[in-house]
Amino acid sequence: MSKSKKNGTSSSSKIKQERRQAELERQKRKTRILLIGTVLLAVVIFAALFVLASQNTGNPGGSSSPAAFNYDELPRLGKADAPVKLVEFGDFKCPACAKFSGIIKPQLVQDYIETGKAALYFVNMSFIGPDSKTASLAALSVYHQNSEAFWTYYDALYTNQGDEATEWATEDFLVELAQNEKLPIDYDLLRKDIQNRTYSDELARDNAVAKTNHVRSTPSLFINGIKASDPLNISAIAAEIESAAKAAEAE
């Protein structure tokens, strides 16, 4: 074989070898990219599952993590030893809360509270406007003067609720409302408590309870620590109360 043919064969072989080497490098790169992508996907899936699990176990109000309330600190309608404890989060300026007061609460009183099966508790969640807080401060003053009169005042506030876009819960309005309802309290003390914001710390505590339990709207209702599916659907509430009562009886 001539020298030129040998050189040509050698050059051709070298080119083929280089091509094979380049192809191997490309395959290695693809494998590395695929491996890295698989690892990253696994990390993302794991992180998502971790977050979801944290939400399911760390969000009070779910069946796996019922909310815990200090019931002794809250206004109560019904017997303290009732097996089912209902906790309403409400804002006296909230139109939907007025519906709860006028439509849902009377049904709860008739079917569950008067029969001793349930008790209703109230937590202020004053977030709509400045007079949300003023109304709550007035209601807390009434509560501390006469715990039974609180519920009469609660109903009166919702029955006489002003427009959500206007400031209606003024000091004069709140005191006159108590007088019109003939509440057995000291009206001058009520006015003084509103002016001095006597129960502002207690109101802040209520709002903190709402935040801790991830309550973002009013009305919200908890039934033995589990958030009701629809606080304005009496049929759904009734079914959930019956379920809670059976669970309490089985304990």
What pLDDT shows up at residue 251?
Answer: 79
Phi, psi dihedrals of residue 63, rounded to the nearest 5°: -60, -30
Domain ranges within the chain, ordered by starting residue: 1-58, 71-250
What pLDDT shows up at residue 146?
Answer: 98
Per-residue pLDDT of the chain (251 residues; tens, 9 = 90+): 555 555 555 666 666 676 667 666 776 676 666 656 555 554 444 444 343 444 444 566 676 689 999 999 999 999 999 999 999 999 999 999 999 999 999 999 999 999 999 999 999 999 999 999 999 999 999 999 999 999 999 999 999 999 999 999 999 999 999 999 999 999 999 999 999 999 999 999 999 999 999 999 999 999 999 999 999 999 999 999 999 999 999 87
What pLDDT shows up at residue 65?
Answer: 86
What does CATH list as the number for 71-250? 3.40.30.10
